[in-house]
Amino acid sequence: MTEAEYEAFLEWAIPDYAQDNVRSGTWPEAEALQRSEEQYRELLPQGLHTPGHYLFTVRDPKLDSSVGLLWFSLELARPGKPAFLYQFKIEEAFRRQGYGLAALRALEEKVRALGAGAILLHVFGHNAPARTLYEKAGYATIDLVMAKGLAPAEDA
């Protein structure tokens, strides 16, 4: 990923992550953008050059075009030496054309070469297309949080 691509990534990724957290009920709307910005600053304090973090533009060489992006880190001190996939996006115009599975296969090769023994990721429950793609690529659910909203109690 180039510096210009990194800056473009942050422009949509920070508000997108904020809205995903609002939609999932994790963060209140009024705090979401600030919290998202803080998390990105904490995770990527040196931006594109943060040690242990890898940011890639997914390209189609035939089209000589960017079709998406991928960001992961290595967590080699954890059991199983996993990589953690923070962000993965295939642009809307290129979805359902095999780019997602191809990028995930390339990710597996890269993290294996870097010494990782597994890949972990988080996907919001409302993102059914992403969950379907990950399951198709062989990812399994290892933890699941569920919620049910309740109407306020009526005064007796």
| Structural domains in the chain (count) | 2
pLDDT at res. 95? 93
Q: Are residues 68 and 138 in the same domain?
A: yes
pLDDT at res. 77? 79
Nearest CA to 123 out of 150, 88, 148, 156 is that of 88
Q: Are residues 22 and 95 in the same domain?
A: no
Domain-embedded: residue 36:
yes
pLDDT at res. 104? 96
Q: Are residues 41 and 61 in the same domain?
A: no
Q: Are residues 61 and 100 in the same domain?
A: yes
Write out the two tokens for 124.
């919001």
Q: Are residues 6 and 36 in the same domain?
A: yes
Helix (H, G, I), strand (E, B) or coil at 122: coil
Q: Are residues 74 and 128 in the same domain?
A: yes
Q: Are residues 11 and 80 in the same domain?
A: no
Residues with Cβ within 8 Å of residue 69, at least 6 apart in sequence: 1, 5, 9, 55, 56, 57, 58, 87, 88, 89
pLDDT at res. 149? 82
CATH number where 99 lies: 3.40.630.30
pLDDT at res. 137? 93
pLDDT at res. 21? 93
Domain-embedded: residue 153:
no
pLDDT at res. 156? 54
Can you list the residues of the chain whose pLDDT is less than 50?
none
CA 12 to chain centre: 13
What is the span of the domain harbouring residue 116? Answer: 52-148
Q: Are residues 66 and 132 in the same domain?
A: yes
Q: Summarize pLDDT for 40-63 with one digit per residue, the tens.
A: 999 999 999 999 999 999 999 888
Q: Are residues 59 and 105 in the same domain?
A: yes
Q: Are residues 108 and 57 in the same domain?
A: yes
Q: Are residues 5 and 44 in the same domain?
A: yes
